[in-house]
Amino acid sequence: MNHYELAKEILDHVGGSSNITQLNNCATRLRMNFKDESKIDLNKIKEIPGVLGAAKKSGQYQIIIGTDVSTVCEEIRKMGQIDEAAAPAQKVGKLDSLMDIFASIFTPVIPAITAAGMIKAILVICVLLGMNKDSQVYSILSFIADAGFYFLPVMLAFSSAKKLGCNPYLAVMMGGILLHPNFAKMISAGDPVFFLGLPVKLVNYGSSVIPIILAVWLMTYVERFADKVSPKPVKFFMKPVLTILIVAPVVLVVLGPIGSYIGTVIAIVTDFLNNHVSWLVPMLMGAFMPLLVLTGMHWSFLPILMTSYSTYGYEAVMGPGSLVSNICQGAASLCVAMKTKDRQFKQQASSAGITALMGITEPAMYGVTIKYKKVLLSVMLGGAAGGFYSGLMGVVRYTSGTPGLLSIPIFIGENPMNVVNALISCVIGFSITFLLTWFYGFKETENDKVASPGYNKQEEESGLKSKKISISSPVNGNKVNLSKVNDETFAKEIAGKGMAVEPVDGRITAPFDGEVVTVFRTKHVIGLRSNEGAELMIHIGIDTVELEGKHFTVHVSDGDQVKTGDLLIEFDKQAIEAAGYETVVPVIVTNTGDYLDIIPSEEGPVKSGQLLFTIL
């Protein structure tokens, strides 16, 4: 299926281009919002050849395509008018909103940064092959590459304006003001500069990140004010004039220096970590990158990465660790493919493994590694080991790009050992992950097995049935299957199997006799272990972590022994729903892999203490 056909298939299952209110893409995903969500068929979208996965997160739909996503996105735009200004306001949590802003501002400029970084890498290779740095060819290619970083404020001005909702051309003008040659001359001269008696701090804003974002943020409010106070007959010129005359001085006197200071602090912290504990951040990134990607938290590092690129010309925060992590995802998937006897799963895992080695990890993550807790742990340990070596050797990434074997050139720089050490870190991560997965992480489950000599299904099943455990509902309400929960982690049983309850009150009680393993700091999740060894997670609501414990009251502590029916947590259902959050309560067996199966009861009304599901 070519890009046009793929785009057409996606449009057919989202209600057409007229239903789209927002469309953009990151490195591997289409990110979309719609007028009428009842027209969206996620299940059909997931079945389209070329679509690696699809999910809805905090009001936004994400369709995983892979590295061809930008071409598919462009094909969709060609097929009809998309009125992005008509996007309805989605009520999402502050954290999700912040991640979405970061993604929307920084993702569009990544191709320019990638191009600039790759040209620099090519220049390094050319110099190693004998090119003279004083030659005109080198000089021209050098300033071509530098332009991608120097004019970063102008590019970020445009993407920020598109996301925050102000005139993008006025925003670009603000970026140009910060980089104007006359202002650059004032900086070079070093003499004090004042505007109406207010000191203008002489800051070089070339390649900066934070100042222009703050400037555009201010512009969104000033432009509305200017629109309100400008008389209609003169609004055409008075509105933009007022906007610039207010925003520019405030930015030069106040916001610009503040943004520069924030960027300096980020650079200092990054520099300190690189110089004193260079192994720490790559090790942590190598270990926890799957969880960061799963939750979308990796977007929060974009300002740090851009600041590092513009300050040093490279970054060591995410690139080295994410490279190793992606390779480890591939190693685990390939190992599972070799061990499993299920032909269909073998094909799925092997394909996902190869794709992960190339840098696209979603098929491996959602299809293989997150399904098995020990496999995921193997990936994280291998990633930590490879990341530790990478950090110890000072590996850096010179430009953005999806880390994988195909994008190894982004690690080529003036130090020829940088790319060599990057490859060694991949070998370390791959080897450790593969061995851990083989000997510890992956064991055949009932569904993976096929009939073979010496395998007696009835005999094994009868032995496992002795572990039958009944799990009661922890809350009054209506039972629903996990597939109906509006969260990919639960709906796809990534965290484990179980069932959910739509509560009618705010009392969570113990579903069995056992122990309180952990109560999350944010009080919305509690982990329990039954006397028989079943490990249970009760998760109150969707995205309620953002409430930071507000509207929750906990009545137990870690290590407490509880009996069936004991009160564990109370929550204010009405207040949580009024804040815009769902209160459905998924009840998950986190050690699902230790059992034969989880058998849910029929959907419908349930009272606290009545059967919710059975563990076999």
Only one residue has tokens 């930015």, namely: 251
Q: Is position 328 annotated as part of the catalytic site?
A: no
User: 446 — phi, psi (to 5°)?
Assistant: -55, -40
Q: Which of 26, 166, 328, 426 is catalytic?
A: 26
Radius of gyration, alpha carbons of the chain: 27
Q: What angle do CA 479, 540, 548 make, to 5 degrees?
A: 165
Tokens of 554: 């906990």
User: 153 — phi, psi (to 5°)?
Assistant: -60, -35
Q: Judge contact between 54 and 47, C-beta under 8 A.
A: no
Other residues' Cβ atoms within 10 Å of the Cβ of residue 309: 23
Q: How far apart are CA 381 and CA 339, in angstroms?
A: 20
CA atoms within 13 A on the CB side of 526: 29
For 377-397, give the secondary structure using H, E and C.
HHHHHHHHHHHHHHHHCCCCE
User: 605 — phi, psi (to 5°)?
Assistant: -60, 145
Tokens of 397: 């990434």
**SS3 category, 357:** helix
Least Cα distance to 25 among 59, 91, 68, 69 occurs for: 69
Q: Judge contact between 576 and 570, C-beta under 8 A.
A: no
For residue 235, what are the contacts with CB-CB under 8 A and spacing of at least 6? 227
For 148-160, give the DSSP string: HHHTHHHHHHHHH
Only one residue has tokens 């300190």, namely: 272
Catalytically annotated residues: 26
